[in-house]
Amino acid sequence: QKEVEQNSGPLSVPEGAIASLNCTYSDRGSQSFFWYRQYSGKSPELIMSIYSNGDKEDGRFTAQLNKASQYVSLLIRDSQPSDSATYLCAVNMLSSASKIIFGSGTRLSIRP
Amino acid sequence: GAVVSQHPSRVICKSGTSVKIECRSLDFQATTMFWYRQFPKQSLMLMATSNEGSKATYEQGVEKDKFLINHASLTLSTLTVTSAHPEDSSFYICSTTIRDNRSPLHFGNGTRLTVT
């Protein structure tokens, strides 16, 4: 099992709809979880951090964490064409000396 | 604003030459910096952890003699790709955290290395 798993996509969502991105992780003791957005040819930029079970909202973005299920998700409301990018899930893995491990990313495409 | 400054953003070099990439923390002291590499359509792979004043810690499979890391000051870490080969062509990105291990990584803009 990969340490951090994401569907590679592409995930195609119509403009204005909700995009839902999912991520699972293997280390049950992980405490810190992050979502990054990466445009083609650019470095990742941080969208959300989440540390506790439940939902965390920031503008059009909502991160959801369920530690019992080892699952973290990102919802993007009112999707815009500018949201088209690869979304990387990252987890601070205690089992890996607290290194931040990245999933392979989900490519999201918002169609006008 | 930017947390980390990385340059050059793009470099093309000939096979067998060495390339140095610099990463600077802006307005804070970074005792630890992380160097990642990303091949096309793949995720970020941690290469090494750079610690100020001590030797870098390399991930399994990363040749320490090929990828030289120096972290001589609290604001500067450098990665030198020695005797570069075409297979070293990749996107190299440095990153650091502002506070502690629980904090997210902030990335430099990355360096696109092409070895001909």
Which residue of chain A comes nearest to B112, CA vs CA?
A41
Pair B23, B94: CB distance under 8 Å = yes
Which residue of chain A comes nearest to B49, CA vs CA?
A99
For the cut 70, the answer to whether the pLDDT of residue B9 exceeds it is: yes
Q: By three-state DSSP, how is residue A94 classified?
A: helix
For position B68, what pLDDT does the model report?
96
Q: What is the pLDDT of residues B57-90, one digit of tens each?
A: 999 999 999 999 998 888 899 999 999 999 999 9
For position B61, what pLDDT does the model report?
93
Q: How close is the nearest chain B Cα to the Cα of A16, in Å?
A: 27
For position B103, what pLDDT does the model report?
85
For position B72, what pLDDT does the model report?
81
For position B99, what pLDDT does the model report?
76
pLDDT tier at B52 (50, 70, 90 boundaries)?
confident
Closest CA to A82 of A102, A109, A103, A107: A109
Per-residue tokens: A38? 């990466």
For the cut 90, the answer to whether the pLDDT of residue B7 exceeds it is: yes
- What is the full DSSP assignment across B29-47? --SEEEEEEE-TTS--EEE
Specify burial of residue B1 (Cβ count, 10 A radius: 0-12, 13-18, 19+). exposed
Mean of all residue pLDDT scores within chain B: 92
Pair A9, A26: CB distance under 8 Å = no
Residue B109 and residue B91: Cα distance in Å, rounded? 10
Pair A89, A103: CB distance under 8 Å = yes
Of B51 and B115, the structure prediction assigns the larger pLDDT to: B115
pLDDT tier at B104 (50, 70, 90 boundaries)?
confident
For position A8, what pLDDT does the model report?
86
Chain A residues with CB-CB distance to B51 below 8 A:
none
Pair A58, A48: CB distance under 8 Å = yes
For the cut 80, the answer to whether the pLDDT of residue B101 exceeds it is: no
For position A6, what pLDDT does the model report?
95
Q: What is the pLDDT of residues B13-39, one digit of tens each?
A: 999 999 999 999 888 888 889 999 999
Inspect the interface and report whether the beta carbons of A104 and B42 lie closer than 8 Å.
yes
Inspect the interface and report whether the beta carbons of B106 and A102 lie closer than 8 Å.
no
Per-residue tokens: B99? 């506070």
Looking at residue A67, its amino acid is K
Q: How close is the nearest chain A Cα to the Cα of B31, in Å?
A: 15
pLDDT tier at B43 (50, 70, 90 boundaries)?
confident
For position B30, what pLDDT does the model report?
82
H-helix or E-strand spanning residue B11: strand B10-13
Spans of chain A below 70 pLDDT: 1, 95-97
Residue A44 and residue A42: Cα distance in Å, rounded? 7
For residue A32, give the nearest of B44, B102, B108 by CB distance: B102
Chain B residues with CB-CB distance to A105 below 8 A:
43
Residue B74 and residue B51: Cα distance in Å, rounded? 9
For the cut 70, the answer to whether the pLDDT of residue B1 exceeds it is: no
Interface of B with A (CB under 8 A): 34, 42-44, 46, 49, 91, 93, 101-110, 112
Per-residue tokens: A97? 């000396």
Q: How close is the nearest chain A Cα to the Cα of B34, in Å?
A: 9
For position A96, what pLDDT does the model report?
67
